[in-house]
Amino acid sequence: MLDLLGGTVVHARQGDRSRYQPLRSSLCTGSAPEDVVEGLLRLHPFRSLYIADLDAIRRTGDHRAVISGLAARFPQLALWVDAGVGGPREAAAALEHGARVVVAGTESLASAADLAAIRAAVPAENLALSLDWLGDRFLGPPELEHDAEAWPERVIVMTLARVGSAAGPDLERLSAVRARAGGRAVCAAGGVRGAGDLEALARVGAAGVLLASALHDGRLEKSVIGRLGAGQ
């Protein structure tokens, strides 16, 4: 997982974006996006990379050129990009600038109709929905929290307050979303501390996990990632 802010990779902490600082990683020197990606790939041959364009999400700019450059430099990576899309035009722009999968975050959607318009315009294999929470507060149109029929086939349970917190994943919320997801692939994001958390997420049926802090600070070593199949 890569969080981009002001042209650099930052360390996301509990969803408080005003406090995010340039990433300090054991995998690379500095926080330039290309260097961080190279460091991650030295650790493991990941096949997918989630990118949060925080400037686009905050409507203060975007990293389209950076993301296009990463797509060209690392063609083996399927880039999942959350760029604050609010409708089909922004989703199309994300695809044009290197996203393999457009992530529609509920915090950026004004209504369920906006998500429906995106789903009508973007092929199913190129779309995922991030259900965003900050603490117990759902971020986005309230009806999207429980109306699984409105969701695409891939869903991310994004618990922002646990991102970068080492508080452990929100297993209860993930299980609740899976119970109403109707066979959709449900991925987890936020709070993973190490191998034990990955095993717990696998037991409750997570289809995938977004990882950042535990990779950069060395809590998840190469051998563990390979053994648990966390390199998707």
State whether residue 80 is helix, strand or coil.
Answer: strand
What is the reported pLDDT for 164? 62
What is the reported pLDDT for 190? 82
What is the reported pLDDT for 6? 93
Q: To 10 degrees, the CA torsion angle through 5, 8, 14, 19? A: -80
State whether residue 214 is helix, strand or coil.
Answer: helix
Average pLDDT, stretch 64-68? Answer: 98
What is the reported pLDDT for 15? 56
How far apart are the C-alpha atoms of 39 and 1, rounded to whole Å?
12
Binned at pLDDT 50, 70 and 90, residue 232 comes out as: very low
Which sequence spans correspond to the domains of the chain? 2-228
What is the reported pLDDT for 224? 78
Q: 44 pLDDT exceeds 90?
A: yes
What is the reported pLDDT for 228? 62
What CATH code would you report for 2-228? 3.20.20.70
Asked if residue 88 lies in contact with residue 114, where contact means CB atoms within 8 angstroms, the answer is: no
What is the reported pLDDT for 165? 66
Residue with tokens 């936020």: 190
pTM of the model as a whole: 0.92
Alpha helices in the chain (DSSP H): 33-43, 54-57, 64-73, 88-96, 112-121, 143-146, 171-180, 195-203, 213-216, 222-228
